[in-house]
Structure 1
Amino acid sequence: MRDLLSEYERLTAAGEPPGRAVVTSVWGSAPRAEGASMLATRDGTIAGSVSGGCVEAAAAGEIAAALERGTPRLVTFGVSDEKAWEVGLACGGTIKVFVEPEIRPEVLSAARGPGGEVVATVVEGPMVGGATRVREDGSVHGDLGPGIPHDAVRDAALAALRRESSTTLTLDTPGGAVSVFLEVFPRRPRLVIFGGVHIAVALVPLARLLGYRTIVADGRQSFLTRERFPEADDLILAWPEQAFERIGLDRSCYVCILSHDPKFDEPALKAALRSPAPYVGAIGSKKTQAARRKWLASEGFSEEEIARLHGPIGLDLGGRQPAETALGILAEMTAVRYGGSVAR
């Protein structure tokens, strides 16, 4: 939904507040994942996509019908559904789409906010449309209705937030089965680079394409200029400890230590490996990495803490140009972020 905020504002300002369709469940090879959204107005103007083009016309028609009746509805498109073939879902997948006559305030607030929360919405069963917000600290705001086990919803929402993946939870209640859609709004990931070297120059624009906020820090002024990093969101001239303290390393941070200089690398590693950052990678050969791990052990780091270090940094794609190395780093970060394979 975040990517459609500007379109929502434009349509609303034009006097055509849109309804929304959001994918809540996917089976098979449907082209878009849970959480993919589409907006549509009464006059047929659309923005976004729920299927990569397969069922957009049908989804727009469902939104128009929801706008007319004023109530939400869960709709299924799949290969076993004759209508789905008519509208073009021939890729072999099945999707469920929750269609609403408006974008609810809790969804708008979550989409506009900094992230780190889940909007849980009843999409099937009693109390359809009931919603609650689950924050990353475990706090719950709102009520889904009687009989729904709120602890189960909270725990599933927090697990979905950690995976950064929206999903649907089915629960048994005294009133019957209930489906709750967990729409995840993660914090925007932050790429934190220490060392404004040539690989960092290539890495920043690639990371921005994937939605990362990019921060480059270095203790050397000559490495940290706007000419070298015109697209970086923030440049910080400081030693590692001061830079990381200013940034505030948390679970949104993906740390790349590229300085290749022990006086920077060592304090950077000590700070990053004991932070909540899910990814810490450091440049250097296999020989350098072995010596680095031995040094970390002598500094009191546990085997588990040392195992968090990705080094040599990045997946080995075979290329050695700065942009190719940067691509390998970003590929490894992506695998860690979504639970993919990082086997070397």
Structure 2
Amino acid sequence: LACGGTIKVFVEPAVRPDVLAAARGPGGQVVAAVVEGPGLGRSVLIHEDGRIEGSLGAAVPEPRVREAALEALRREASITTAVETTEGTASVFLEVFARQPRLVIFGGVHIAVALVPLARALGYRTIVADGRPAFLTRERFPDADQLILGWPEAAFDEVGLDAACSVCILSHDPKFDEPALQLALRSPARYIGAIGSRKTQASRRDWLRTSGFSDEEIARVHGPIGLDLGGRQPAETALAILADMTAVRYGGAAARA
């Protein structure tokens, strides 16, 4: 390569049905194909819940492949991994088909207005929810993929929070923020951020403890939300939030809880 690196190219004469199905599907799947060693040419489809369709053969330990596949899916990175089998070492290519990331914002405030277009530019499906009609209009959010008018429970139930979701709680109103936080913490959302000062965050953590959440669970909340970039404008705060979400998504050194 011009950059001085090298690559290995895996060439197939036709697209396998499992790859085609994964590419056309909603994501959350990994195609594991043996590209060298025992089981050469075999492939399986691994779902995010651990289900496996197909077989790599008796020699290849499926639990090991499943573990590596789910880790690759979590990192959203296709990799080739070495797997020890009863007949020697096999090289297995793990082709990741991740779900489209979703940004779920509760609170149609000025920061949310700036956050939506930035998130869309990074490939997120953007969903804004609020219980206040005046904050949730197409004039304010012309680019949002979905607007949901309602309280957190109804809104999050409609969304269906999953591991591809990043949740930003921005309403500045405890009657919305508190139930939204509880619901987000009970979900597998990969990022949960809440706006508010350090004093507000400390009070919020105390309240979450009295509500039955453990310190480990509470540590999932990023608050004050976003990386400390020193910005003051809504767009700068939105940038800090997206930077924090990106660090968490890819395991960057800036990721924090």
TMscore range, shorter length: over 0.9
Aligned mates of 1:120, 1:316 — CA distance in 2: 39
Q: Distance in 2 between matches of 1:291 and 1:171?
A: 48
Structure 1 residues 197-206 or 100-109, which shifts more?
100-109
Question: Which residue is 1:106 aligned to?
Answer: 18
1:189 lines up with 2:114 in the alignment: no
Structure 2: which amino acid aligns with 1:150? E
**What one-letter code is carried by the residue in structure 2 that aligns with 1:233?**
D
Match of 1:255 in 2: 167
Match of 1:165 among 77, 82, 103: 77
Q: Secondary structure at the match of 2:41?
A: coil
Say whether residues 1:328 and 2:231 are aligned partners: no
Matched, 1:120 2:120: no
Q: AA paired with 2:183?
A: A
Structure-2 separation of matches of 1:296 and 1:270 = 8
Match of residue 210 from structure 1: 122
CA distance in 2, matches of 1:105, 1:232: 34
User: Structure 2 length as normaliser, TM-score?
Assistant: 0.94
Partner of 2:52: 140
Residue 203 of structure 2 corresponds to: 291
Question: Distance between the aligned counterparts of 1:307 and 1:343, measured in 2?
Answer: 9
Q: Which residue of 2 aligns with 1:337?
A: 249
> Residue 343 of structure 1: CA displacement?
4.7
**Is the alpha carbon distance of 1:172 and 1:273 closer, same or farther for their aligned partners in structure 2, counting shifts above 3 Å?**
closer
In the alignment, structure 1 segments of 5+ residues that lack a partner are 1-88
Render the CA deviation track for 1:65-95: whole Å, top value 9, x for unaligned.
Answer: xxxxxxxxxxxxxxxxxxxxxxxx2423222
Residue of 89, 101, 110 corresponding to 1:198 = 110
Greater shift after overlay, 241-250 or 192-201?
241-250
Q: Give the match for residue 58 of structure 1.
A: none
Equivalent position of 2:66 in the other structure: 154
The residue identity in structure 2 corresponding to 1:137 is D
**RMSD in angstroms over aligned alpha carbons?**
1.6
Structure 1 position 159, deviation (Å): 1.8
Separation (CA, whole Å) in 1 of partners of 2:114 and 2:221: 22
Q: CA deviation at 1:242?
A: 1.2
**1:283-308 alpha-carbon deviations (Å, 9 max, x no partner):** 11111111111221222221111111
Deviation at 1:126, TM superposition (A): 4.4
Q: Is the contact made by 2:102 and 2:165 (CA closer than 8 Å) also made in structure 1? A: yes
User: By how many angstroms is 1:157 displaced?
Assistant: 1.0
Paired letter, 1:139: R
Deviation of the 1:175 alpha carbon: 4.1
Shifted more, 132-141 versus 151-160: the winner is: 151-160
TM-score (norm 1): 0.71
For this pair of structures, how many residues does the alignment match? 256
Gaps of 5+ in 2: none
Partner secondary structure for residue 317 of structure 1: coil
Which of structures 1 and 2 has the bigger CA Rg? Answer: 1
C-alpha spacing 1:283/1:125, structure 2 compared with 1 (3 Å): same
Cα displacement (A) at 1:240: 0.9
Deviation of the 1:127 alpha carbon: 4.2
Larger CA deviation: 142-151 vs 307-316:
142-151
1:148 Cα shift?
1.6
**CA apart distance, 1:202:** 1.0
C-alpha distance in 2, partners of 1:171/1:248? 35
Corresponding residue for residue 246 of structure 1: 158
* Deviations 1:23-53 (CA, angstroms, capped at 9, x unpaired): xxxxxxxxxxxxxxxxxxxxxxxxxxxxxxx
Q: Distance between the aligned counterparts of 1:139 and 1:166, measured in 2?
A: 18
Where does residue 234 of structure 1 map in the other structure?
146
- Greater relative contact order structure (CA < 8 Å, 6+ sep): 2
CA contact (8 A) 2:39 2:60 kept: no
- Aligned residues of 2:248 and 2:256 also touching (Cα < 8 A): no
What percent of counterpart residues are identical? Answer: 73
Picking from 97, 103, 114, the partner of 2:9 is: 97
Please, which of 288, 313, 316 is the counterpart of residue 225 of structure 2?
313
